[in-house]
Structure 1
Amino acid sequence: MNQLLKLFFAFSLTLLSTFAGFSQSKTPNKDQRYIYFLHNKFVEENALNAAHPEYGKAEYNEILASFRKDNFIVFSEIRKKNTNAYDYAEKITKQIKKQLKNEVPPNKITVIGTSKGGYIAQYVSTFLANPDVNFVFIGCYMDTDIQEIPDINYCGNILTIYEKSDIYGVDATKRKETSKLKINHFKQIELNTNLKHGFLYKAADNWIVPCKKWANGNYDLN
């Protein structure tokens, strides 16, 4: 039993260190690229095998597997129910700052968020205020955000992806124009799947492939 407990705690510590993403080495691999993936609210509130009545199951593990298949180191966790987006963004920001302190190049770090996770990612962009870090905001902007969430300012290399039939994610040009921090690159992709907000539940290439290109520094998305 003692041996089993030791193995369990060792595995738990490995998971924690993987999510934290802090390199203990003073000479990290400068070519390695990292992704922080922040999931949508449905995953926060339901078991992974639960199906949304309209959109179906959220393919969280499949999304992570797709990024890892392309050699990204992926940091992610299922958040606790009713997680405060502002506070959680501060936590992620601290983790990224530790990576930067350990000499990970900022352009090798990409924060990708879907729906609520996308709003958390927007706060990370604001708090970090580093124009060389990459961000992808997916299905997470409405024009009313300018008045209702005035403290968000985009900063970094910003890609937004939204679906034409989704009322919860639209063209974010207004947010770009009102942001007071430096944006090195800004690009938007409009999808036309007719899946409404459900498009981001799927581990689909139509949004995952552009994320990978952006995380690899391909800001033209060619």
Structure 2
Amino acid sequence: MKAWPLILLTFFMPAHASVVYTDVPESTEPTKIYLIYLHGRIIENSGPRPTDIRYGLYDYPAVLEALSSRGAVVISAQRPRGTDMNKYAGAVVSQVEDLIDRGVPPGNIVVAGFSKGGGIATRVSSFLRRPQVRFVLLAACPGGSTPPNIRLTGRILSVYEASDTLAGSCMPLADQPEQPRSFKEIKISTGKWHGAFYMPLPAWVDPVLNWVHGGD
């Protein structure tokens, strides 16, 4: 990620897992899907496998492995503590533009974010304004509220958990005079509140991967 201090991921992936990059790789393949994953706030503060007393273990490495399991090239870095959402969104916009400059079609680029990472993803969508780029918003809209001056663009998949008291539907954000190219939303019901996205549960991973890889 250009002009932004990175904390490299310091966990070990299983031997069979795909490589997860912390920035746009030097060599790109236009036929592949490139998925930028933006983690939740707790990773900034407590490292790649923190435990929350309410929601349990956030297994960031396992989430990345799941997201790469169908062949997507996953790009994800641990953000520094207290990261400014708007500034980091600008850095992700630069990553997306770098991928496009390297020949990756915009439709093969997905920006996915959970919780604070989802808030960053909404800002990337608003700043980038490329209709073919795709976004996955995971518990990204606090209470279904509409952040000021954020206008979703591109192709959007929103997923939220029915029992979650911190985040809800992103429909209010999409249902504005300026609307994204497409919007789809899925409500899951795991009973795990915000922690539903702490682990790669099939309830959200399967529909996300189906959408990312064009099978849904």
Give TM-score, length-normalised by structure 2: 0.85
1:177 corresponds, among 160, 175, 178, to 175
Matching residue of 1:19: 22
Q: Say whether 1:81 aligns with 2:81.
A: yes
Q: Say whether 1:160 aligns with 2:158.
A: yes
1:196 corresponds, among 177, 193, 196, to 193
Structure 1 segment 141-156 matched on structure 2, within 5 A: 141-142=141-142, 145-146=145-146, 149-156=147-154
Q: Say whether 1:214 aligns with 2:196.
A: no
Instruction: Determine helix, strand or coil for the equivalent of 1:160.
Output: strand
Moved over 6 A (4+): none
- Bigger radius of gyration among the two: 1
Determine the C-alpha separation between the residues in 1 that align with 2:125 and 2:193. 26
Matching residue of 1:48: 48
Determine the C-alpha separation between the residues in 2 that align with 1:22 and 1:200. 26
Structure with more of its chain in helix, by fraction:
1
Question: RMSD of the alignment, in Å?
Answer: 1.8
Instruction: Determine helix, strand or coil for the equivalent of 1:132.
Output: coil
How far 1:38 sits from its partner (Å)?
0.4
* 1:139/1:197 contact within 8 Å kept: yes
Matching residue of 2:57: 57
* 2:93/2:124 contact within 8 Å kept: yes
What count of residue pairs does the alignment treat as equivalent? 197
Structure 1 segment 98-137 matched on structure 2, within 5 A: 98-137=98-137
* 1:153/1:179 contact within 8 Å kept: no
Unaligned runs of at least 5 residues, structure 1: 1-16
